[in-house]
Structure 1
């Protein structure tokens, strides 16, 4: 059918669900075709049929971006397309070298090979220095290596857009040649991110001094040194975007004197800038929508002129040394401000929550209070006020924020009751505060994913309503005063990944219902009063990769997609620049838990939680043996094979250590110290070859390496108290002083109350006992009196 359309010049099949490229063979007959657009077809894959399309000698525009074409381009056939003006191969899987015959395409205006797998030396890209037609070049995100000399483009008089971002830092771009050079072009966009720019000198490209039409400048992630290049702003009155993140600029952030109303986006985060912000920054950049100054050493008060930035959408001052109060006008006047990050500074006073703010990160400061502005916080979805100095009850108005997903109030001095109005769907973190009393029975958060109550003084048992939170992934209630046994209804938390109950007063047996929580990766029941045996069924919990692949441990879900992309145009913003949150702290407010490994409490957060698997039952009253099934690994799934930490210390476990545990090859921490285990320790194979004697200490009847006590024939099994292999071994008559004094005191108290109860019930014997005590008192009295009188007479004589 297409072959009959002899005069067809434009064929646009973009944004379709095409899945077969065979139809391209019939297109070859349409010799009049000038424009072929297959953009965003997604399913087109395999080698691109350049052999068939070689007959399209009139083709001027070829757009293949965002498909799945791969392999190498057929160079001989590809070279036949000499009239091409636009060649867009971006976001495919093309590989090999870039065909040298591109130099034969004298009319080429746009060359975009972004995000493929083209390789070879960067200096061999076969672009002639005499070319004058090219206006747009994008070599970003390929597999090029080596050093690329920038003065190759010196004579490209029409060049306006140049992008050579390399996310692997394998390409070194040098703009300062051995001899000076003056470009004939005037760039509008230059993006040289993560490309080891001027690695020898670490200097900002000098040729930019003669560029006066720049619209976008992205030199981020290059370790450039020197002072902040404010001349880039002064020399380019049309500049919209300045991206200098993650370099090594030093000194003060000197800003231009004149107003620059064109700038809407500026990121100079992660440098070494210091000093105070200019008071008139808000007047110099009145139209800024994105300002990121995070990870510097800036100090002083926040300029009040920032409140005049009416279009400010994102303000990130994370990790500086700013102090003083936050201007109220930042909330009341900046009505476009949706994302505010002032975390880890020295701000004090009140936190003001505005009407339109969506993400508010204020943790790590010295704030004393939090208050809403205009009694409306309807847009708030993420609030982190942790690690401040707020002493108050939880504000009830937080329950009126219908979009609130994450609330972090950790490490303050909050007290009182948890309001019933709270309805988080992602995270509720109230850890390390001053809450007391039982958890309210109305604590109903059915869609909550992460609950942190660690480090308070909660008491009582866990309310059954808590087990209705079927979406719960993390439950951390450690270091409180909870009591009672673990309810069998905990089996309802089928998706639970992290269960931390350490440091409470839970008792009873460990219920088998815990084994139904098969997605668990970290379980900590230590420092409680559990008794009985270790459940045989614990090996049924995955503790491994099957669980890890299903859970994301970050708050990235609160970031709206509207922040991340804008429509693409060849001369407009690139995807690399407009990704506001690439590496931003807003998108990485990660889940963090504390888990004891290697005798110390460590924090694990973010994606690492998907790879950490641990079981801690230490410091309880567990008895019996270690179940051999803990070391059994079924063929069909890994289960305990990926377990990294197993702590059974400080219990009353007996019997031998199962040799099957040697099969736990991922085990990095193993501790059975201070039990009543006996027999030979597991052979020092695999991971067990790394465990020291401290893992087994406090078990008198254990023997074998790495312990000093050897295993003789007489004590390999059923050891008797009189057996000892050498003088350094513990003697049979040695008793734990703590156990002795405790048992003696308990026995004495029981005996005393038994006698008193008997006397209370039988008055006759109480009277006889009273008379006996009275006779003894009088006897002692007269004996003492008579003895003292005789001694005085002897002394007088």
Structure 2
């Protein structure tokens, strides 16, 4: 097929190297191998594509360093996509004969030490520029914007640009075509330019998150009438939530301003906008969720760790991701509120003051994967209806007042037995991921944050710090995908189920502070991924396990079990004996040591030793002279200076 002009094999699972016969396809104008697993050296193939206009080789496993000088004679090249490669654009020197319209160099080792490619200074027709994930350093490259007035999309996120964001201030420079401007995850600081809204009048996506910007949010953002997505999170913006953003941003659908120092309320945003995504966590925002919030059909709402209070209105429509953690919400969780959404994915009401029981409508949210209600005042028995949530990955009901027994039907829930598509976890993609939610979880005794593309790989069941009674259901051993199980601080009794042996992926197992008895099942030594194990303060007996992962656990995992002994494999020492207790005066008489006999025997020995020394010196003149000589030398060394002074 020597006349073939277009070859698109992107987004497959192709492996191996490129066949040499592909070099015969000299008529190719469009080639795309992106997102495969191809290896080998791609340079000889590309060098022969003199007619190429679109070249995509990003995100494979190609070897060696890609030298840009092989493109010096590719005068027709317009679109170039490179990713996950070692790239050298400077050496040896070369001159570009092409004018690119699309350039994407992503997640590469670019020009070590990293710097902006110099050939870009001669490019003036760029529509899409993506240099994300290359750890580029230096000041923000404003010249790229000046030289390419037709830029539509600019992706410079995940680099190390420092200093302020400098934009032209004169009236003759506007980026009228730019729709996406993403500079997140850099080290830019200072105020966001006051004219950012004037400079990008038709912007649809503005992402300046994860930098060090401070001060107020510029009022000119309110002039972006086409703005759909605004990401301001993880900076140091201060002041009240700005009403000026809402003046003309009537197209705004996603507003993310979490991890700042903002004050005030969100009432203006709720009244004037029709948002689908709102995150404002970890600020100082206050207020309540009123009936005005009911007009929104949000996909994601995250207002965790603020100062919200009051009860939840029953008319509020359930988002797919709802995070209210760490506020002062009170009252009961409304039934209607929980039943309004059939595609709910994550609910986090932890660390509030909710009362009552879990609404029955929760059990009808069949798509729910994450339910976190820890740290409230919920009570009652854990209904077996909760097992209808078969897709659940993380269930945290800890720090409440739940009573009764643990439902055995938990074994019918997934808890990690769900395969995540490979393209979510293993493959990169061009552009940012603003749709990712963030969840805070306690894993292995650590409080960590996870993005939604990662916490779907976790699985946890936490029922700790409640009033649960009865035995631990042996059916819990059927949760093969479970990573963390915490049943501590309850009133559970009976034996540790031998079925826990089947928890093959368990990393953290905490059943401390209960009334469990019997021995630790020897079958648990097959849990090869166990990193945290705690059975302290129970009534366990016998000897703890000393093989496999159990060699790494010390006495803190077993203390509070008076009839349980353990061995530290590293030092091969037994359980240390208790420290001796000091005797009171009234107990000294019962001591095993007779101090009167001790004093008399010591005095007798001292007198006998002294008499033997005097007898030896009196009978033997030689030893007597040695003794007096030794005494004279000692006196001279110890008091010689004092005795010498007396002679004068």
> 2:122 pairs with 210, 225, 230, which one?
210
Does 1:691 find its partner at 2:544? no
Report the more deviating stretch, 298-307 or 602-611.
602-611
CA distance in 1, matches of 2:267, 2:366: 34
Give the TM-score normalised by structure 2: 0.75
Match of 2:257 among 332, 342, 345: 342
Deviation at 1:673, TM superposition (A): 1.0
Question: Equivalent residue for 1:744?
Answer: none
1 or 2 for the larger relative contact order (CA 8 Å, sep ≥6)?
Answer: 2
Given the alignment of the two structures, is residue 445 of structure 1 paired with residue 339 of structure 2, yes or no? Answer: yes
Match for residue 222 of structure 2? 307
Tell me the distance in 2 between the aligned counterparts of 1:389 and 1:492: 37
Q: 1:270 to 1:591 in 2, by over 3 A?
A: closer
Q: Does 1:274 align with 2:170?
A: no
Aligned partner of 1:394 in structure 2 is 289
Q: Does 1:610 align with 2:522?
A: no
Which runs of 5 or more structure 1 residues have no equivalent in the other structure?
A: 1-80, 355-370, 521-541, 557-574, 634-639, 712-724, 732-797
Shift of residue 430, structure 1, vs aligned partner: 3.1
CA contact (8 A) 1:430 1:453 kept: yes
Q: Which position in structure 1 is the counterpart of 2:99? A: 186
Which residue of the partner structure matches residue 602 of structure 2?
A: none
Aligned residue in 1 for 2:275: 380
1: distance between equivalents of 2:41 and 2:228? 42
Residues 461 and 134 of structure 1: CA distance in aligned 2, closer, same or farther (over 3 Å): closer
| Contact in 2 for aligned 1:112/1:139 (Cα 8 Å) | yes
Match of 1:232, SS? helix
SS of match in other structure, 1:261: coil
Secondary structure at the residue paired with 2:86? strand
Q: 1:709 to 1:184 in 2, by over 3 A?
A: closer
Tell whether 2:35 aligns with 1:172: no
Instruction: After TM superposition, list the pairs within 5 Å mapping 1:667-686 onto structure 2.
Output: 667-682=530-545, 684-686=546-548
State the distance in 2 between where 1:467 and 1:441 align: 11
- TM-score, length-normalised on structure 1? 0.62
Report deviation, 1:333: 0.8
One of 396, 399, 413 as aligned partner of 1:503: 399
1:309 and 1:549, CA in 2 relative to 1: closer, same or farther beyond 3 A? same
Secondary structure in 1 matching 2:110: coil
Match of 2:77 in 1: 159
Whether 2:361 is the aligned partner of 1:458: answer no
Summarize the Cα distance change of 1:297–1:106 in structure 2 as closer, same or farther, 3 Å threshold.
same
Given candidates 418, 422, 436, the residue that maps to 2:312 is: 418
Contact residue 328 and residue 352 of structure 1 kept, 8 A: no
Residue in structure 1 matching 2:410, options 507, 511, 517? 517
Q: What is the alpha-carbon distance in structure 2 between the residues aligned to residue 459 and residue 103 of structure 1?
A: 71
Q: 2:360 aligned with 1:473, yes or no?
A: no
Unpaired runs of 5+ residues, structure 2, are 460-482, 582-648
Matches within 5 A, 1:603-642: 606=452, 607-608=454-455, 610-612=457-459, 613-631=483-501, 633=502, 640-642=503-505
Q: How many angstroms does 1:421 deviate by?
A: 0.9
Per the TM alignment, residue 210 of structure 1 is displaced from its structure 2 partner at its CA by 2.0
Q: CA deviation at 1:437?
A: 4.8
Residues 551 and 417 of structure 1: CA distance in aligned 2, closer, same or farther (over 3 Å): farther
Q: Is the 8 A contact 2:318 2:338 kept in 1?
A: no
- Partner of residue 146, structure 1: 64
Is the 8 Å Cα contact of residues 122 and 147 (structure 1) preserved in structure 2?
no
CA contact (8 A) 2:285 2:306 kept: yes
Q: Give distance in 2, aligned partners of 1:189 and 1:726.
A: 69
Q: 1:193 to 1:437 in 2, by over 3 A?
A: closer
Q: Partners in 1 of 2:156 and 2:192 — Cα distance?
A: 17
* Residue-by-residue CA offset, 1:453-495 (whole Å, 9 max, x unaligned): 3223334444555545444433333223334443455454444
* Displacement of 1:424: 0.3
Distance 2:17 2:420 in 1: 39
Q: Return the alpha-carbon distance in structure 1 between the equivalents of residues 29 and 189 of structure 2.
A: 43
What is the Cα deviation at residue 517 of structure 1? Answer: 2.3
Q: Which residue of 1 aligns with 2:302?
A: 408
Is 1:662 the counterpart of 2:556? The answer is: no
Match of 2:148 in 1: 236
Question: Whole-Å Cα distance in 1 between the matches of residues 96 and 24 of structure 2?
Answer: 23
CA distance in 1, matches of 2:576, 2:65: 68
Q: How many residue pairs align between the two structures? A: 549
State the Cα distance separating 1:353 from its structure 2 match. 5.3
SS of residue in 2 equivalent to 1:518: helix
**1:17-416 alignment, distance < 5 Å:** 81-92=1-12, 95-100=15-20, 107-125=27-45, 127-128=47-48, 133-163=51-81, 165-166=82-83, 169=84, 171-178=85-92, 180-199=93-112, 201-256=113-168, 257=170, 258-351=173-266, 371-373=270-272, 379-401=274-296, 403-416=297-310
User: 1:439, CA displacement in angstroms?
Assistant: 4.7
- For 2:104 and 2:420, the matched residues in 1 are separated by 36
- Asked whether the 8 Å contact 1:593–1:605 carries over to 2, the reply is no
Matched with 2:614 is: none
Q: Is 1:189–1:215's contact at 8 Å kept on the other side of the alignment?
A: yes
Match of 1:593 among 441, 446, 457: 441
